[in-house]
């Protein structure tokens, strides 16, 4: 016996018929209610428990068809099946009943196997109808309240049900969008469509548990919206997908806006650049600039004032920036503390620079953050469409490069990027790698440039100058690679090597010459080296290791190296001085030239920068400065070395002013150790080159 259930109402005026039906149906497993009239039947049906009615046609009072007509006023064929029970000669009534809404009929005398089959069919249809009805109700309820659009895609026909909200998300009214899959896929952004298809196929193939993908879709107003689709497949008994259904939500705001500063984020900004690039392709007279801005020392500020203050600072800055931009320009936050501007429709490169400068100017007024006054400066990097870019990433990369070079220049400025800068950056990376290798293998050499005593006309010392023969490139000037070594901290290792090498070299010379050698070796020490707490120890070790007398060594440092961290530098220099090592200030006159620095640290020698020496004859100002420096040094009891002496007259002028020592090509270029030793030997033999004594 099949698994049947349901409440059946039997309506028949003849008791015999009612009893027979009741008995057979009950035995079959149904709950059976019986009644003898149409009127009574309607009352029972009002109670709502009945699933199917067996209705006799011929009855006194309300006939079968009349009763049916009344039933159909409140219930349709799907919700309440009615099967007419007829005698053989009632065919007309059967036709009329079917027209009025009967579902089926059976004839008397009743053939029960057929009657059961029909009853069961109609009950099954009713159950299906009930299920559909309740799911539709749920569905429409869900749709009314939903902010998400719903979709249901029949994979066989490619018909898709789009909810009203779904259509609204893409800017369409309920009526004007055909139910076809192409209406959906044709709207997906060309850069996203392949990805969306892949995501859907992964789910259809059973690789992913559900579809969850975010992409751009074209709105009816021609803009693009970011939407997220989540969905699942309904599968048949064999596991083959028959339908896909799910939701669509508009996530444009989440995707494109920075939640803290409430301005567009990097994704949004990239889209804006993409649009600008596309416009440039259509209209060659259109040009735009991309400017990236960062507050100088934001990271330091963050660690000193805390997260919430620095976050608020960014928000306040975003508001100021927004208030200052021209309509049409985009302002965005593209990194933790990197702001960006897209300046639309500029007339020339200089316009972008002007806009960047104006943006930098808005941080001039201090920020009031939770009652705390914060001042900052700002750096900017600029790239423009005057360089042909075909991707947003490329132009962003170049603008960032400009920003970094502005920051390397000390910040508080803007740098525009030309494509060469990119090549330079690459070249520098390669240089860094080679320099690192050279440091490990100690592939450097020291050259020695004599320092000459004007009065005695002889060499009193040498400045050691590092040389690097870069593989596949040839000699690289220390002016180029020392700053790179500084930035990468390689200078500490290189500096150590220079110190050791120089000390050993002089010790070796002293040994190779029989007469005592009154010669001092100057070694350049860079700002970063001074910051090392163990510099004095490094020097002491090099001296001890080589056996060199500390008085034969002089350290050259620049004034800025001392000023960078005066207390620390003073301590280190003090320690060096205590060892017996002497100190020279290099390139004097180019920096602060501050007298107070000289009073704070133990200085023995001042080296006047080459830029003064080379212009001393032509530039009265240089003349005055050198004069002042010499007088000052003289009154403080410091030695003076004039760097970069190339001509006899330069030497004569400087000597007349009272300087004691000179160094420059006039006497000798920096030379390898063997040649330097030869110069020393010649001097001992009295066979010096004639120019050595020229200034006397
Ligand atoms: P500096 O210490 O001021 O060295 C003097 C520079 O002037 C040297 O350049 C030298 O070759 C050059 N020079 C000397 N006389 C003349 C002249 O008459 N005319 C001209 N045109 N130039 C002259 P160099 O060797 O290229 O070194 C440049 C800079 O690199 C040095 O300037 C120094 O700051 C740095 N440097 C060189 N060797 C080392 C080193 O071992 N350690 C560190 N930290 N820096 C070094
Ligand atoms: Mg020097
Ligand atoms: Mg110098």
530 lines ligand 1 (CB under 6 A): no
Note the CATH number of domain 148-255: 3.30.450.20
Residue nearest to atom 11 of ligand 1 (CA): 670
Give yes or no for residue 676 having a pLDDT over 60: yes
- Structure confidence by residue, pLDDT tens digits, 310-340: 889 999 999 999 888 887 789 999 998 999 9
Cα of 435 vs centre of ligand 2, distance in Å, is 21
Q: What is the mean pLDDT of residues 129-140?
A: 71
3.40.50.300, 2.40.110.10, 3.40.50.2300, 3.90.1660.10: CATH of 7-134: 3.40.50.2300
Cβ burial of 571 (10 Å; 0-12, 13-18, 19+) is middle
- Residue 98: its pLDDT value, please? 82
608 lines ligand 1 (CB under 6 A): no
Q: What is the mean pLDDT of residues 278-286?
A: 92
Which residues have C-beta within 8 Å of that of residue 418, sequence separation ≥ 6?
387
Residue nearest to atom 27 of ligand 1 (CA): 478
What are the Cα distances from residue 198, in Å, to 208, 249, 250? Answer: 11, 20, 21
CA 298 to mean position of chain CA atoms: 17
Of the bound ligands, which one is closest to the alpha carbon of residue 493? 1
Report helix, strand and coil shares of the chain as percent, to nearest 5.
50, 25, 30
More confident residue, 123 or 10: 10
- Structure confidence by residue, pLDDT tens digits, 216-255: 999 999 888 989 888 888 888 888 898 888 888 888 888 8
pLDDT band at 477 (very low <50, low <70, confident <90, very high): very high
- Residue 81: its pLDDT value, please? 93
pLDDT band at 499 (very low <50, low <70, confident <90, very high): very high
Q: Can you tell me which atom of ligand 1 is nearest the CA of 447?
A: 25
Give yes or no for residue 674 having a pLDDT over 90: yes
- Alpha carbons 176 and 259: distance in angstroms, whole number: 35
- Residue 35: its pLDDT value, please? 95
- Residue 696: its pLDDT value, please? 37
Most confidently modeled range among 234-243, 454-463, 538-547, 621-630: 538-547
- Residue 495: its pLDDT value, please? 97
Cα of 480 vs centre of ligand 2, distance in Å, is 15
**Which of 257-261, 272-276, 470-474, 532-536 has the lowest average pLDDT?**
257-261
- Alpha carbons 575 and 227: distance in angstroms, whole number: 67
Q: What is the mean pLDDT of residues 82-108?
A: 82
Give yes or no for residue 425 having a pLDDT over 80: no
Q: Can you tell me which atom of ligand 1 is nearest the CA of 609?
A: 3
pLDDT band at 665 (very low <50, low <70, confident <90, very high): very high
What percent of the chain shows pLDDT beyond 70? 94
**Helices 64-74 and 91-100, packing angle to 10 deg:** 10
Q: Would you state the CATH architecture of domain 263-417?
A: 2-Layer Sandwich (3.30)
Domain ranges of the chain: 7-134, 148-255, 263-417, 434-687
Of the bound ligands, which one is closest to the alpha carbon of residue 644? 1
Q: Can you tell me which atom of ligand 1 is nearest the CA of 477?
A: 26
What is the token pair recorded at 222? 């021609």
Please say whether the structural domain 434-687 has been given the CATH code 3.20.20.450.
yes
Q: What is the CA radius of gyration of the chain?
A: 47
Q: What is the mean pLDDT of the chain?
A: 88
Give yes or no for residue 482 having a pLDDT over 90: yes
- Residue 219: its pLDDT value, please? 94
Residue from 524, 535, 648, 651 whose mutation best tests the ligand 1 pocket (most atoms within 8 A of CB): 524
What percent of the chain shows pLDDT beyond 90? 55
Cα of 529 vs centre of ligand 2, distance in Å, is 14
User: Is there a shared CATH topology between the 148-255 domain and the 434-687 domain?
Assistant: no
Give yes or no for residue 589 having a pLDDT over 60: yes
- Structure confidence by residue, pLDDT tens digits, 603-644: 999 999 999 999 999 999 889 889 988 988 888 889 999 999
């Amino acid at each position: 016996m099949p698994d049947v259930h349901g409440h059946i109402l039997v309506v028949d005026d003849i008791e015999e018929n009612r009893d027979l039906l009741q008995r057979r149906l009950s035995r079959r497993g149904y709950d059976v209610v019986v009644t003898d009239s149409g009127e009574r039947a309607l009352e029972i049906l009002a109670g709502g428990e009945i699933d199917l009615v067996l209705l006799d046609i011929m009855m006194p009072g309300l006939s079968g068809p009349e009763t049916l007509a009344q039933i159909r006023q409140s219930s349709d064929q799907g919700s309440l099946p009615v099967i007419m029970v007829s005698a053989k000669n009632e065919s007309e009534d059967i036709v009329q009943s079917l027209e009025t809404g009967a579902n089926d009929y059976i004839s008397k005398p009743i053939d029960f196997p057929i009657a059961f089959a029909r009853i069961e069919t109609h009950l099954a249809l009713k159950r299906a109808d009930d299920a559909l009805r309740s799911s539709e109700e749920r569905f429409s309820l869900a749709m009314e309240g939903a902010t998400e659009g719903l979709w249901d895609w029949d994979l066989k026909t490619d018909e898709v049900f789009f909810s009203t909200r779904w259509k609204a998300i893409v800017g369409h009214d309920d009526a004007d969008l055909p139910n076809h899959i192409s209406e959906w896929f044709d709207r997906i952004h060309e850069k996203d469509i392949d990805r969306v298809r892949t995501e859907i196929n992964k789910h259809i193939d059973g690789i992913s548990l559900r579809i969850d993908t975010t992409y751009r879709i074209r709105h009816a107003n021609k803009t693009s919206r970011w939407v997220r689709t989540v969905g699942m497949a309904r599968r048949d008994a064999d596991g083959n997908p028959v339908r896909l259904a799910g939701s669509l939500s508009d996530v444009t705001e989440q995707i494109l806006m920075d939640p803290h500063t409430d301005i567009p984020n990097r994704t949004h900004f990239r889209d804006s650049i993409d649009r600008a690039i596309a416009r440039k392709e259509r209209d060659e007279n259109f040009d735009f600039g991309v400017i990236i801005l960062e507050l100088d020392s934001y990271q330091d500020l963050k660690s000193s004032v805390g997260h919430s203050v620095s976050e608020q600072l960014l928000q306040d800055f975003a508001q100021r920036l927004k208030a200052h931009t021209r309509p049409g320009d985009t302002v965005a936050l593209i990194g933790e503390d990197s702001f960006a501007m897209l300046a639309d429709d500029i007339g020339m490169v200089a316009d972008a620079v002007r806009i960047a400068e104006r943006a930098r100017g808005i941080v001039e007024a201090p920020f009031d953050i939770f009652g705390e006054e914060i001042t900052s400066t700002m750096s900017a990097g600029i790239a423009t469409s005057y360089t042909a870019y075909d991707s947003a990433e490329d132009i962003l990369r170049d603008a960032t490069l400009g920003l970094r070079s502005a920051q390397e220049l000390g910040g508080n400025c803007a740098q525009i990027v030309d494509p060469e800068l990119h090549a330079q950056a690459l070249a520098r990376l390669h240089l860094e790698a080679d320099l690192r290798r050279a440091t490990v293998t100690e592939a450097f050499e020291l050259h020695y440039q004599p320092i000459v005593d004007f009065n005695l006309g002889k060499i009193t010392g040498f400045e050691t100058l590092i040389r690097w023969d870069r593989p596949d490139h040839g000699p690289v000037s220390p002016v180029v690679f020392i700053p790179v070594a500084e930035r990468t901290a390689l200078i500490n290792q290189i500096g150590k090597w220079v110190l050791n090498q120089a000390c050993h070299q002089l010790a070796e010379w002293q040994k190779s010459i029989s007469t005592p050698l009154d010669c001092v070796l100057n070694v350049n020490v860079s700002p970063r080296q001074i910051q090392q707490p163990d510099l004095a120890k490094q020097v002491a070790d090099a001296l001890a290791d080589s056996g060199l007398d500390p008085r034969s060594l002089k350290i050259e440092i620049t004034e800025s190296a001392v000023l960078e961290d005066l207390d620390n530098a003073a301590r280190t220099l003090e320690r060096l001085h205590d060892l017996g090592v002497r100190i020279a200030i290099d390139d004097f006159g180019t920096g602060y030239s501050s007298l107070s620095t000289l009073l704070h640290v133990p200085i023995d020698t001042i080296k006047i920068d080459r830029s003064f020496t080379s212009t001393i004859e032509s530039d009265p100002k240089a003349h005055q400065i050198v004069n002042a420096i010499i007088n000052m040094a003289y009154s403080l009891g410091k030695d003076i070395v004039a760097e970069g002496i190339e001509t006899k007259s330069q030497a004569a002028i400087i000597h007349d002013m009272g300087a004691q020592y000179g160094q420059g090509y006039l006497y000798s270029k920096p030379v390898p150790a063997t040649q330097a030793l030869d110069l020393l030997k010649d001097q001992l033999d009295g066979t010096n080159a004639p120019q050595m004594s020229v200034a006397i």
